[in-house]
């Protein structure tokens, strides 16, 4: 896969996507959003890829937001379209992938950058990371799902304060809020995240995909999450992974899973 704004590699079942515009602090322009969509779709459809890690190039930024230079002149209609297209192509798309996606937040994750990290299934941060939704300082609101996912992750009061003040929180505060699961020294961020990925890869990919779907259903108002859980629990019984997992347990050996 060859892209202009991102780097993609696959190693030992882990797909790594690195946003690669360090001179612009990896800001998300339209082209980068399209490339990220294409890369995620490709990795999702690759049976060999069991976990995806997303990070930013350089030591300073994960992603410092949507590219402000691209939308400064937009009209009301263009603004709405920007948010709708971005959500569909990238943010909702990532959240719904059946391949686990971990954000390795290696520096500033602001605006669309924090929104991208929040679309991932969970987050690990380096100790220098700073997170925030500064949109109201520019006269807009978060448009890539931030007003929805931040309260889901940190609670309404903290989300309101972060959004209204447009301020940044450091990695330890983010951890205490539940926004990131772990904070590690920057030099160890990728190895640490890959360690979590290895633990995930011991388990059934098809079951993990169904678990993601059921957990996500908890945050959708138009579906009954318990019902989604029941249906997906049932579907597991028809998979090769289920046969392998239960047989391996009974035969006292390590399971070898294939399906995604």
Active site members? 115, 135
CB of 56 to ligand COA, least distance (A): 12
Q: Does 64 bind ligand COA (CB under 6 A)?
A: yes
Task: Label residue 56 left, alpha or beta by phi (over 0 means left) and psi (-120 to 50 means alpha).
Answer: beta
Eight-state DSSP code of residue 46 = -
Q: Does 24 bind ligand COA (CB under 6 A)?
A: yes
CB of 120 to ligand COA, least distance (A): 18
Contact 70, 29 (CB under 8 A): yes
* DSSP assignment of 88-129: IIIIHHHHH-SS-EEEEE-SEEETHHHHHHHHSSEEEEETT-
Q: Does 135 bind ligand COA (CB under 6 A)?
A: yes
CB of 258 to ligand COA, least distance (A): 42
Which residue do the tokens 């569909």 mark?
Answer: 88
Q: Which two tokens stand for residue 157?
A: 């009061």
Give the residue, chosen from 17, 27, 39, 52, that forms a contact with ligand COA under the rule CB under 6 A.
27
CB of 23 to ligand COA, least distance (A): 6
Q: Which are the contacts of 109, defined by CB distance < 8 A and separation ≥ 6? A: 61, 62, 63, 103, 116, 117, 125, 129, 130, 131
Alpha-carbon 96 to chain mean position: 10
Site size for ligand COA (CB under 6 A):
16
Give the residue, chosen from 25, 169, 171, 228, that forms a contact with ligand COA under the rule CB under 6 A.
25
Residues 89-108 that bind ligand COA (CB under 6 A): 108
Q: Does 241 bind ligand COA (CB under 6 A)?
A: no
Could you tell me which stretch among 23-31, 121-129, 150-158, 248-256 binds ligand COA (CB under 6 A)? 23-31
14 or 162: whose CB is closer to ligand COA?
Answer: 162
**Closest-CA residue to 102 (of 203, 16, 201):** 16
CB of 68 to ligand COA, least distance (A): 4
Q: Does 31 bind ligand COA (CB under 6 A)?
A: no
Distance from C-alpha of 83 to C-alpha of 109, rounded to nearest angstrom: 18
Q: Which are the contacts of 33, defined by CB distance < 8 A and separation ≥ 6? A: 85, 86, 89, 90
Give the residue, chosen from 56, 86, 100, 111, that forms a contact with ligand COA under the rule CB under 6 A.
111
Could you tell me which stretch among 22-30, 95-103, 120-128, 157-165 binds ligand COA (CB under 6 A)? 22-30
Site of interaction with ligand COA (CB under 6 A):
24-25, 27, 64-69, 108, 110-112, 134-135, 138
């Amino acid at each position: 896969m060859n892209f202009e704004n991102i780097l993609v590699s696959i190693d030992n079942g882990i797909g790594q996507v690195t946003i690669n515009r360090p001179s612009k602090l990896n800001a998300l322009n339209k082209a980068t959003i399209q490339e990220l969509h294409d890369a995620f779709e490709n990795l999702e459809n690759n049976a060999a890829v069991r976990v995806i890690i997303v990070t930013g190039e350089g030591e300073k930024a994960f992603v410092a937001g949507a590219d402000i230079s691209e939308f400064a002149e937009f009209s009301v209609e263009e603004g709405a379209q920007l948010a709708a297209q971005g959500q569909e192509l990238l943010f909702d798309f990532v959240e719904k992938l059946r391949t686990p996606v971990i954000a390795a937040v290696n520096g500033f994750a602001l605006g669309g950058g924090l929104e991208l990290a929040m679309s991932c299934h969970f987050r690990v941060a380096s100790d220098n990371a700073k997170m925030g939704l500064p949109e109201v300082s520019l006269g807009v609101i978060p448009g890539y799902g931030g007003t929805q996912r931040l309260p889901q992750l940190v609670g309404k009061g903290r989300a309101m304060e972060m959004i209204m003040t447009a301020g940044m929180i450091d990695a330890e505060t983010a951890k205490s809020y539940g926004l990131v699961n772990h904070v590690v020294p920057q030099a160890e961020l990728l190895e640490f995240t890959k360690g979590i990925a290895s633990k995930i890869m011991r388990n059934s990919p098809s079951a993990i995909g169904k678990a993601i779907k059921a957990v996500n259903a908890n945050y959708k108002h138009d579906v009954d999450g318990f019902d989604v859980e029941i249906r997906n629990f049932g579907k597991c019984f028809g998979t090769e992974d289920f046969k392998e997992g239960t047989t391996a347990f009974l035969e006292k050996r390590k399971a070898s899973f294939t399906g995604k």
